[in-house]
Amino acid sequence: MSWNRPARDDLRQREDESRGAGHQRGVSVRLPYADRAEAGRVLAERLAPMGLDGAAVLALPRGGVPVGYEIARRLGSRLDVLVTRKIGYPPQPELGVGAIAEGGAPVFDAGLLARLRLRAEDLAATVAAERAELDRRVEVYRRGRPLREPAGRPVIVVDDGLATGGTARAAVRALRERGPSRLVLAVPVGAAETVRALAAEVDDLVVPAAPGEFRAVGQWYRDFEQLTDADVIAWLDRAARSGEPG
C-alpha cells in the first residue's frame, strides 16, 4: 500500500488510500464532502463489493450515525450504535488521553500518558464519569434494547472521520473481544498517520481519503453541523422504518 502526501489541502481530488477487499486502485474522491450523508454514500460504494452479507453496521455516535445510515441502507443491513467516550486529561479535558467503548476496557494512549507523567490509575475518577455518561447514552439511544451480538458475523464500525483515532481504537478492540467473523473499520476521511496506525487493529480498513495535512475532521465537510441525542434517535428510527433486516 502506498501513501501519497497531497500537494494542497483544498478541493482537488485525493487518491483513494484505503485498504480492504474490493478496493479499486486509482479511484479518487473529491473533498470536502457535502455532508455526512454524501460521505456515507461514498463509503457504501466501497463496501458493497466486499462480500459483507449479513454485516452489522455499528456507528459511533453522534457523527457516525448519518454515515452509517447510508451504508446500512446500501448493504441492506441493520444500523445500530456502539457508544464510545473520550477520556480527557483532567486539567485540559479536550485533550484525549484515551477512550472507552461499551463492553470494553479503557484504552489509553501510553505515549501521551508518559509525556504527561500520568498513570492509568490517576484517571479513575474521569473514567468513572465517562462510563456513567456512556451508560446514559446507551439507554437513550437503544432504549433498553441490547446490542446485537457480533459474534460470528461481519461487523462494520463507522465514524465520520479519524483524527487521533482514540475512540475508534477503543471501539474495535471492544468488538474484537466479542468474536466477529470479520471486523471492518470504515470512515470517509482520516489523518494519514492515524489510518496507518489503525490498519493493524482490524481485518479491513476502508478510508477513501487520507490527507497528509489534517487539522480536524470538520475541515473535510462543507456541512458539519453538531448533532444531538435527538438527531441520533431520529436517524435510528428512520433506519428502523426503512425496513432494514434485524
Strands 28-30, 56-59: pairing is unpaired
What local confidence, expressed as pLDDT, does residue 243 receive?
Answer: 64
439511544: which residue's cell?
A: 141
| First-last CA distance in the chain | 36
Report the run of H or E that residue 199 belongs to, with start and end.
Answer: none
Q: From first to last of its 246 residues, what are the pLDDT tens digits of the chain?
A: 223 223 233 333 333 443 433 333 335 688 999 999 999 999 999 999 999 988 999 999 999 999 999 999 999 999 999 999 999 999 999 999 999 999 999 999 999 999 999 999 999 999 999 999 999 999 999 998 999 899 999 999 999 999 999 999 999 999 999 999 999 999 999 999 999 999 999 999 999 999 989 999 999 999 999 999 999 999 999 999 886 554
* Cβ atoms of residues 107 and 197 within 8 Å: no
Count CB neighbours of 82 within 10 A: 30
Query: Domain boundaries in the chain?
Result: 13-83+147-241
What local confidence, expressed as pLDDT, does residue 28 receive?
Answer: 67
DSSP 45-78: HHHGGG--TT-EEEE-TTTHHHHHHHHHHHHT-E
Q: How far apart are the C-alpha atoms of 74 and 49, rounded to whole Å?
A: 11
Give the CA angle between residues 9, 12, 14 to the nearest 5°: 80
What local confidence, expressed as pLDDT, does residue 4 receive?
Answer: 29
CATH of the domain spanning 13-83+147-241, picked from 3.30.870.10, 3.40.50.2020, 3.40.718.10, 3.40.109.10: 3.40.50.2020
Q: How far apart are the C-alpha atoms of 229 and 139, rounded to whole Å?
A: 11
Give the CA angle between residues 149, 154, 187 to the nearest 5°: 105
Amino acid at 2: S
* Cβ atoms of residues 57 and 80 within 8 Å: yes
Q: What are phi and psi of 17, to 5 degrees?
A: -125, 35
Q: How far apart are the C-alpha atoms of 78 and 154, rounded to whole Å?
A: 12
Q: How far apart are the C-alpha atoms of 101 and 86, rounded to whole Å?
A: 9
Q: How far apart are the C-alpha atoms of 49 and 55, rounded to whole Å?
A: 13
pTM of the predicted model, to two decimals? 0.88
